Amino acid sequence: MKMNVKNLFAGVILMTAVSACAPSQVPFTNFTAFTEDLRRDLENAGIPLEKVQFYNDKPITVKREGINPNDINVNSEGSISIQNGKTIQTINVRPFTPGVVLGTGGGSMNVSWDDTQQDTKGMRFNLNGNQYYLSTTEDAKLDYKGSLFDIQAGIGTRLFVNKDLLKQVNVQRETQKGRRVGGQ
């Protein structure tokens, strides 16, 4: 019995040490929020947003339940039968997952995290203040891939970029003090 307790204790210490060494999240020090000012700077520098690597700062989980239309049958009496039951689709995007822009509009960007290359529209992010936030409806739904999903996690998710991107943009700003008549 003492031998098992020692082995158990050693195993717990080993697991604690291993889990303490594993990073729990990506550090914010490598990233910066993507702002409207940065978007303007990139566009002025001739860098298309499609060439920029984006990241999400929070986990996104969306879910929808539905029935495949091919599984629904109606018999001659008008009774509906469903062959395989309902389908539950859940999509997870972990924090700081790399994404790409698929389209932009005034004050919005559509970003895709889908590594299968089948996502043609992406998730919409809207400008709010000076940053881009995941676009959701008031009742916590997200329009994605032509379907309406319930948001399980991710409300308030912002777009981030790697700070190395800032080194590619040469920004020069001046504040003019004004000029008076007569040269003074």
* Residue 14: per-residue pLDDT: 44
DSSP state of 69: G
Does pLDDT of 16 surpass 60?
Answer: no
d(CA 154, CA 140): 10
Instruction: Please write the tens of the pLDDT for every residue from 109-152.
Output: 999 998 888 888 999 999 999 999 999 988 999 988 888 899 99
pLDDT band at 18, cuts 50/70/90?
A: very low
Instruction: Please write the tens of the pLDDT for every residue from 24-75.
Output: 454 557 899 999 999 998 888 888 999 999 999 999 999 988 766 666 666 6
DSSP state of 143: E
The distance in angstroms from the start CA to the end CA of the chain is 93
Nearest to 42 by CA among 170, 128, 132, 164: 170
Do residues 89 and 64 make contact, with C-beta atoms less than 8 angstroms apart? yes
* Residue 70: per-residue pLDDT: 64
Does pLDDT of 184 surpass 70?
Answer: no
d(CA 116, CA 93): 14
